Structure 1
Amino acid sequence: MTSAFHSIPNFEFRSVALLAALTVGAALVAHAQGTAPGTPSTQSASPQSGPPSQEVGAAFIRADANKDGKLSRQEAVRFPAVEQRFDQIDTNKDSQVSREEFEIALKS
């Protein structure tokens, strides 16, 4: 019985498989970033710009357990960076962090 299947040496097969995996991985990363492979990104992310406002708002709402629109020290535990700087972030010294104070702190 003759086989029409041609034998490919293991090294060559592994090289082709690795190249295919790397190509698919690069395409997935590019797709996740919203750009085509080899195309420079048009989005300029400034490291000081902070997270988008929608994400900040959603995070604040999740942390505000009693839904009073402010974070107490106990609610701020969900954000270690806020908890550690609570007194500094609470600029009006009312022992609560408002959403505005929260957003300002995340931008700095």
Structure 2
Amino acid sequence: MTLRASLIRFTLATACTGFAAASMAQTAAPAAPDAKGRMAVEAAFTKADANADGKVTKDEAIKMPEIAGKFEALDKDKDGALTLAEFAAGFKMG
């Protein structure tokens, strides 16, 4: 193998590694909200989840009018309950 061929292979390998790293960085989870905001959402979700089953039903959401008013839109999988992620999409700190 010539020096030129080795250099080309090294360059290609380095470029592929760089592309793979960039791709992984782009597919990583989006930046999380600040810790205080995340904690507020989780606390509100826990409070709303009266039976502590890890989801908020429409009946449980009644005590939070801002969630209850858009429950159907937030329930993306249409299973009749909000996951933490679905709940967080509609939660406003205030």
Question: Please, what TM-score do these two structures have when normalized by structure 1?
Answer: 0.50
Distance 1:89 1:65 in 2: 19
Equivalent pairs, count: 59
Which of 51, 57, 69 lines up with 1:72 in the alignment? 57
Q: Unmatched 5+ residue regions in structure 2?
A: 1-32
Distance 1:101 1:89 in 2: 6
Distance 2:69 2:91 in 1: 13
Moved over 4 A (4+): none
Distance 1:72 1:102 in 2: 10
- Percent identity, aligned pairs only, is 36
Aligned partner of 1:8 in structure 2 is none
Partner amino acid for 1:82?
A: I
What RMSD over aligned residues (CA atoms) do the two structures have, in Å?
2.0
Higher-Rg structure is 1
Partner amino acid for 1:105?
A: G
**Counterpart contact for 2:66–2:91, Cα < 8 Å:** no
Distance 1:105 1:82 in 2: 6
TM-superposition CA deviations, 1:36-65 (whole Å, max 9, x none): xxxxxxxxxxxxx7x711011011101101
Which of 68, 83, 93 lines up with 1:83 in the alignment? 68
- TM superposition shift of 1:74: 0.8
Mapping 1:36-75, distance limit 5 Å: 52-75=37-60
TM-superposition CA deviations, 1:69-106 (whole Å, max 9, x none): 10011100111011111100001100001111011222
Distance 1:104 1:83 in 2: 13
Relative to its length, the structure with more helix (as a share) is 2
Q: Unmatched 5+ residue regions in structure 1?
A: 1-48
